[in-house]
C-alpha cells in the first residue's frame, strides 16, 4: 500500500506539466472547510461574470490614488529612472534624441540594450490618466457628495492634493516588463520584514540561493509557519496569494507580439510554469496556488460579512444618476448575497476570534503590518504595477478591516439618524471590489491554464 502511494506521488511529481502545476491544487484547503473544486465552480460560473459587469460601472472604474509619493524606505536605484518618467509618457519620437540618450553612453552596446528595455518598461508600465471632460466634472460632483457624508477616517492618499483619479478600465493589469532585482526587492522586503517572520527562518526558494537551497530550509520554514497562530499564518498566506494572483495576471496577459502595427497580449504557458510548476519551483508552485484560493476565501468572507453595511437604505453608489445608481446597488447587493450563500466558510471560532484582549493586539499588529506594506508600494518603480499594487493592498486591508469589525457591522443602525459605528469610504469600497475582482479573475484564468497545459501533453 505504502509503495503504491509512493509510486503515485512519484508519478505526480514527474508527470506532465499540467499535473505538476495542478495535481496538488485540489481537495480541502487548510484552515477552511472548503475545497478547490467547489470554489472553481462557484466563482467561474456564478460570481465572476456578475462581478465583471459591476466593475465596469462608473462608480467602480475610477479609483483615486496618489502615485507620486516617494519611497520611504530606500532610494530607488532604478536605472530606468521611472520617477522622471511622466505618468503620461511622451512617445520616444517626441523627445529630441540628445535629451533621450544624454545620460547613456550611446556607443556602448550594453547601454543601448538597456535603453531599449527601459523604453519598453516605461511604456508598458505607464499609467494612462486621461479622463473625458464630462468625467472630470462628474467626479467633482461625486467628491462633493462624498464630503457631505460623514467620514469615519481618511485613508492616507485620499485627501492628498497629489491624488488623481485613474480609469481602471484604461489600465488593465498585465505584463509590464517590470521584473528583475528591483521587483524582487519589493517582494523580499514584504516577506522578510513584514510577515512576522524572524530573520533566522529562511524562506524556501529565495532567488539567488536557489541552487544551494535544500529541502531542509523549506521544512524549517513550514514548521515555523505551522507554529504561528492562525491569523499570522493567514497573513503570510494572503501575501503569497496576492503574489500568485499578480503573477497569474502577467502570465495570462503577456506581451506576445510587440510590433509596429500590433500589440498582442495573451497566455504565456512557459511563464506560468516558471512560477507554478512544482518541478521548476522546488515544490513551491502548487502551494502558491493554494494560497491564492485561501486569499479568495478570505475576501469572499469579508464580502459576505459586509452586506449589512451596503443594505442601509441611505447607502448609494453615488454617481449622480439615480436610476443607474440604484441598478448598480442592486447588482452589488446581489453579488454580496451570493457571497453569503457560499456554504463552505471558515471555522468561526478559530479565525479572528480568540480572547478579546489577544484579538485586539493581533488586530493592531496586522493593521500596522498592512499599513507598512501599503507604504512599500510607493517603492514600486513601475507606475502601473504601483497602481494595482496599491489598489490590491488597500482592498485586502479593507477586507481585514471588515473581518475585524464584525460586531460593529452587525450593530449598524437601521435608521440613518444615528452616527454609524462602521464606515467605508468610496476609495475603500472601490478597492475592495476591484481587488476581489483581480482574485476572481485569477481563479478563472487557472481554468484557461489548465486547459492550455493539458493540450501540451
Ligand X SMILES: *[C@@H]1O[C@H](CO)[C@@H](O)[C@H](O)[C@H]1NC(C)=O
Name the residues that contact ligand X, by CB under 6 A.
73, 134, 137-138, 141, 189, 193-194, 254, 256, 268, 270-271, 274, 320, 347, 349-350, 368, 372, 376
DSSP β-ladder status, 62-65 and 263-266: unpaired
Torsion of CA 23, 291, 424, 372, to 10 degrees: -150
Residue 249 labeled ligand binder: no
Q: How far is the CB of 260 from ligand X (least distance, A)?
A: 17
Residue 275 labeled ligand binder: yes
Strand partners, 254: 266
CB closer to ligand X, 111 vs 138: 138
* 385 given a catalytic annotation: yes
CB closer to ligand X, 9 vs 368: 368
Residue 240 labeled ligand binder: yes
Residue 187 labeled ligand binder: yes
Q: How far is the CB of 138 from ligand X (least distance, A)?
A: 4
Residue nearest to ligand X (CB): 189
* 71 given a catalytic annotation: no
Q: How many CB atoms lie within 10 A of CB 125?
A: 23
Q: How far is the CB of 419 from ligand X (least distance, A)?
A: 26
Q: How far is the CB of 379 from ligand X (least distance, A)?
A: 8
Backbone angles phi, psi at 32, to 5 degrees: -150, 140
Decide if 418 contacts 374 (C-beta within 8 A).
Answer: no
CB closer to ligand X, 108 vs 270: 270
Q: Which three cell numbers stand for residue 272?
A: 506560468
CB closer to ligand X, 84 vs 356: 356
Helix (H) or strand (E) holding 321: none
Q: How far is the CB of 34 from ligand X (least distance, A)?
A: 12
Q: Is 415 helix (H, G, I), strand (E, B) or coil?
A: coil
d(CA 309, CA 413): 10
CB closer to ligand X, 46 vs 193: 193
**CA-to-CA separations, 99 to 93, 110, 126, in angstroms, rounded:** 11, 19, 19
Q: Which three cell numbers stand for residue 25?
A: 491544487
Q: How many CB atoms lie within 10 A of CB 61?
A: 17
Q: Is 303 helix (H, G, I), strand (E, B) or coil?
A: helix
Task: Output the known binding site.
Answer: 174, 176, 187, 240, 243, 275
Residues with catalytic annotation?
382, 385
Task: Output the known binding site for FAD.
Answer: 174, 176, 187, 240, 243, 275
Amino acid at each position: 500500500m505504502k509503495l503504491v502511494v509512493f509510486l503515485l506521488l512519484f508519478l505526480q511529481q514527474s508527470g506532465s506539466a499540467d499535473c505538476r502545476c495542478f495535481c496538488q491544487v485540489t481537495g480541502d484547503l487548510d484552515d477552511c472547510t472548503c475545497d478547490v473544486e467547489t470554489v472553481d465552480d462557484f466563482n467561474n460560473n456564478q460570481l465572476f461574470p456578475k462581478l465583471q459587469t459591476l466593475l465596469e460601472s462608473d462608480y467602480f472604474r475610477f479609483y483615486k490614488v496618489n502615485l507620486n509619493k516617494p519611497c520611504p524606505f530606500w532610494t530607488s536605484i532604478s536605472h530606468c529612472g521611472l520617477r522622471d518618467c511622466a505618468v503620461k509618457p511622451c512617445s520616444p519620437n517626441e523627445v529630441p534624441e540628445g535629451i533621450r540618450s544624454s545620460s547613456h553612453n550611446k556607443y556602448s552596446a550594453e547601454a543601448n540594450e538597456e535603453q531599449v528595455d527601459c523604453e519598453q518598461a516605461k511604456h508598458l508600465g505607464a499609467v494612462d490618466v486621461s479622463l473625458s471632460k464630462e468625467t472630470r466634472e462628474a467626479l467633482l460632483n461625486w467628491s462633493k457628495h462624498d464630503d457631505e457624508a460623514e467620514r469615519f477616517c481618511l485613508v492616507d492618499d485620499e485627501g492628498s492634493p497629489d491624488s488623481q483619479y485613474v480609469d481602471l478600465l484604461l489600465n488593465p493589469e498585465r505584463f509590464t516588463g517590470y521584473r528583475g532585482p528591483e521587483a524582487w526587492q519589493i517582494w523580499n522586503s514584504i516577506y522578510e520584514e513584514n510577515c512576522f517572520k524572524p530573520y533566522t527562518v529562511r524562506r524556501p526558494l529565495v532567488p539567488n540561493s536557489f541552487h544551494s537551497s535544500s529541502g531542509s530550509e523549506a521544512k524549517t520554514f513550514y514548521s515555523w509557519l505551522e507554529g504561528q497562530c492562525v491569523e499570522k499564518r493567514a497573513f503570510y498566506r494572503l501575501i503569497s496569494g496576492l503574489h500568485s494572483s499578480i503573477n497569474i495576471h502577467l502570465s495570462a496577459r503577456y506581451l506576445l507580439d510587440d510590433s509596429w502595427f500590433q500589440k498582442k497580449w495573451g497566455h504565456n504557458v512557459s511563464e506560468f510554469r516558471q512560477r507554478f510548476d512544482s518541478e521548476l519551483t522546488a515544490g513551491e508552485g502548487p502551494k502558491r496556488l493554494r494560497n491564492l484560493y485561501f486569499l479568495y476565501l478570505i475576501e469572499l468572507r469579508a464580502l459576505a460579512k459586509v452586506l449589512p453595511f451596503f443594505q442601509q437604505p441611505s447607502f448609494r453608489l453615488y454617481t449622480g444618476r439615480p436610476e443607474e445608481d440604484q441598478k448598480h446597488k442592486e447588482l452589488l447587493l446581489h453579488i454580496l448575497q451570493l457571497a453569503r450563500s457560499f456554504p463552505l466558510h471558515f471555522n468561526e471560532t478559530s479565525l479572528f476570534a480568540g480572547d478579546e484582549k489577544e484579538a485586539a493586539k493581533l488586530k493592531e499588529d496586522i493593521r500596522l503590518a498592512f499599513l507598512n506594506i501599503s507604504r512599500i508600494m510607493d517603492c514600486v518603480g513601475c507606475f502601473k504595477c504601483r497602481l494595482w499594487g496599491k489598489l490590491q493592498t488597500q482592498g485586502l486591508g479593507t477586507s481585514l478591516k471588515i473581518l475585524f469589525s464584525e460586531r460593529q457591522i452587525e450593530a449598524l443602525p437601521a435608521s440613518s439618524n444615528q452616527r454609524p459605528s462602521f464606515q467605508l469610504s468610496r476609495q475603500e469600497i472601490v478597492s475592495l471590489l476591484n481587488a476581489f475582482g483581480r482574485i476572481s479573475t485569477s481563479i478563472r484564468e487557472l481554468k484557461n491554464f489548465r486547459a492550455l497545459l493539458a493540450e501540451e501533453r
